[in-house]
Chains A and B, each alone.
Chain A
Amino acid sequence: MGYVAVQGGTDAIENSEKLSNYLRLKGKSLPLTVKQIQDQLRFLVDRVMGEGSLYSPFHAALAIKQSEGDPLEAAFYIRAYRSTLKRIVDTLPLNMQEQRITRRISSAFKDIPGGQILGPTQDYKQRMLDFSLVEEDEEAMHKALSDYEAELKPKPIGEKGFVKVVDILKSQGLVKEAARETEEAAADITKESVAFPADRSSSLQMLSRSETGGVLALAYSSMRGYGSIHPTIAELRVGHVPVRIPHPFRENETVTIGSIQVTEAEILAKFESCGQDEKPYFTLGYGCCFGCNEVKAISMAVLDRTMKEEKADAPAQDQEFVLMHTDGIESSGFCAHFKLPHYITFQSDLDRLRATQEKKSKKEVKTGENINDL
């Protein structure tokens, strides 16, 4: 009789790491460079930055390489790395009016001031596998680049920037200006644990870090009718926006520290009477996330609106339900933890089941005796 409990953990872990690395390399293709991932897997990089909640394409690309392309795992690396970084300063609120638009559409109006800008999108691409990509080489790359650059006719951008579609509706009294939240500064969910009901800044932060598939599933449940809000996209924007901080020495001055690409979605939802005057207005939902991730920004905006419902009849309307179950790092970690040994708890369950079975069978015997007595 040998002793066979799980042991030799150290060796097992080391060997497992070696085997995983071997499987990554054994095809003997050239090792992926971080730069290649950063350049050519843009959507994956953006998604990992968003869910990892750290804006750094380099770190996200490294995490993607290390996790062999698993987005949840890559975002997890980023979150863990983020925990080691000191928070130096809070940035000032982004001014979306300054966004350098690469894409901007509205499904509410055919023509909007500044125009609809399709930009780079996969939306109208026919999803047929392109086998020419198999043969793509450096020569083809350079040719594609120079051909496109030759076609370009740069135009100066208008000084005014782009008016927000929602602002137009607000000026016509069709949308009620959201009541300013009383809080002075936005909450920081990475420094304070969120209490429920959560304030709007916490709620939007949580959504912005949430897993794309998770928010999509819950937003989709609303779109299909479980707490429908009848959304229309007022405006969807993708582009770079400058990030500013207060000047460290000079009062009332700011310093631009760079720019980040964000996707922003504003949706108009079914109208409601607000407050005393009983006059109905369109209601709004807002979503914004790192990089280019339109499905996530739209899903966020839908959920931002569904969660405002006073009485939660559907899962997407229940703020705690939505926010507590859409973080990919937390949900995937907890899901994976069931792989850990549960010998102790299971032994305890066994003890309970056996004791209860014993009690029940004693009762049965007793019942049997009673029948014989009759």
Chain B
Amino acid sequence: MTFEYNFAFIDENAKKEIRRKLLKAIAIPGHQVPFASRELPIARGWGTGGLQITMAIIGPEDVLKVIDQGCDGSVNAVNLRKLISKTTGVRTTFETHKATIIQTRHRIPEVPMKEGQILVFQVPLPEPLRLVEPSEAETRRMHSEKDYSRLWVTLYEDIVKWGSISIGASYPCKVNGHYVMSPSPIPKWDIYKLHQSECLYLFGAGREKRIYAVPPYTDVEPLQFADKPFEVESFEGLCCCRCGAVDAYLDEIYDEETGCKYHVCSDTGYCDSRLGGLERNGL
């Protein structure tokens, strides 16, 4: 027995619904738009939100890049890329500037993305207010009333307790002066790339059934206090042991034999391009 799957797996009516919700999300930057969220052959929590967006917008002409933790070659990225290319036949790339659609988990590529490119984020927990409020009914009210006081108080208490804000990845941001949004678990290092960007950012949370977006040239500001400015991760005095980059987010790695700690670019496409693409650490 054989079975023919549709182009990009999901049925066309479901894709249409996702595209309608995407348009709404783009029209209201940072606002979480509920969508039906189909189950995919990939487990919930493994990128089904991002995948549904990619599958709803991808066409035969697109060039796709998929990264996980910045890496083209990690098992999950390979798996998602395989599913999308198997069901669409589109070309894939490891180079940021050649891709029309990049699907990502936990990183924004180091090379700035341009107009016409789309970055699709996989989002585990889309609700930035979940930190302070477990109920969905309640957080939706808080967003609509722009009631972010409890989040601000939590950040303030963090400073009182620890001397600085203890949130690392998923740092809450205010989008276009209204909605507070979770940027997905990207490091703080990547937050500034969201602000006034040339490309379109789409966010999909499959399990939580939410889509949101940051359109090009939109203000995105991390929540911060005037006297306690937002700080990104520090890699002061460190560089990538492979390409020597000092301007990239670094993974910390321990050498098997010596136990020594060293660092390497988390964005493998960036690292490869600095080395002239001769080596492939991605695959």
Contact = CB atoms under 8 A, between A and B. Distances in A.
Interface in B10-47: 10-11, 13-14, 17, 34-41, 43-46
A329 B34 contact: no
Interface string A237-264: 0000000000000000000000000000
Interface stretch (A96-104, A129-137, A191-199, A293-301): A191-199
B46 A336 contact: yes
Interface centre among B13, B43, B189 (most CB of A within 10 A): B43
15 contacts: A1-B262, A3-B264, A6-B73, A9-B73, A9-B76, A83-B38, A83-B40, A190-B36, A191-B17, A196-B135, A329-B39, A329-B44, A344-B251, A347-B252, A355-B164
A270 interface: no
B74 A7 contact: yes
B75 interface: yes
B168 A352 contact: yes
Nearest to B136: A196
Contacts of B44: 329-330, 332-334, 337
Given A7-B281, A12-B75, A84 B11 contact: yes
Contacts of B246: none
The main secondary structure of chain A at its interface with chain B is helix
B234 interface: yes
Nearest to A77: B41
A10 B78 contact: yes
Nearest to A336: B43
B256 interface: yes
A359 interface: yes
A85 B124 contact: no
Contacts of B68: 340-341
Interface in B129-166: 135-137, 140, 162-164, 166
Closest 9 CB pairs of A and B: A333-B44, A348-B168, A337-B45, A193-B34, A9-B78, A79-B39, A333-B43, A334-B45, A83-B38
B98 interface: no
Given A4-B253, A345-B170, A347-B251, A9 B79 contact: yes
Contacts of A335: 45
A6 B71 CA distance: 9
Interface of B: 5-6, 9-11, 13-14, 17, 34-41, 43-46, 48, 68-71, 73-79, 82, 105-107, 124, 135-137, 140, 162-164, 166-170, 185-189, 207, 209-210, 233-234, 241-242, 249-253, 255-256, 258, 260, 262, 264, 266, 268, 281-283
Interface residues of A, number: 58
Contacts of B70: 344
B39 A84 contact: no
Contacts of B185: 342, 344-345
B10 A83 contact: yes
A347 B169 CA distance: 9
Given A329-B44, A356-B166, A359-B163, A343 B69 contact: yes
Nearest to B165: A352
B253 A5 contact: yes
Contacts of B186: 344
Contacts of B249: 344, 347
A345 B281 CA distance: 21
Contact of B106 (A3, A76, A189, A344): A344
A311 to B, nearest CB: 14
Interface string A71-85: 000001101101111
Interface in A350-368: 350-352, 355-356, 359-360, 363
B241 A1 contact: yes
Contacts of B255: 1-2, 4
Contact of B45 (A4, A320, A336): A336
Nearest to A85: B11
Contact of A76 (B43, B188, B260): B43
Contact of B69 (A13, A191, A333, A341): A341
Contact of A9 (B17, B38, B40, B74): B74
Interface string A319-339: 010001000011011111100
A345 B106 contact: yes
Given A3-B241, A340-B46, 12 more contacts: A6-B73, A9-B74, A77-B41, A84-B9, A194-B34, A330-B45, A334-B45, A341-B74, A344-B251, A344-B266, A347-B252, A349-B169
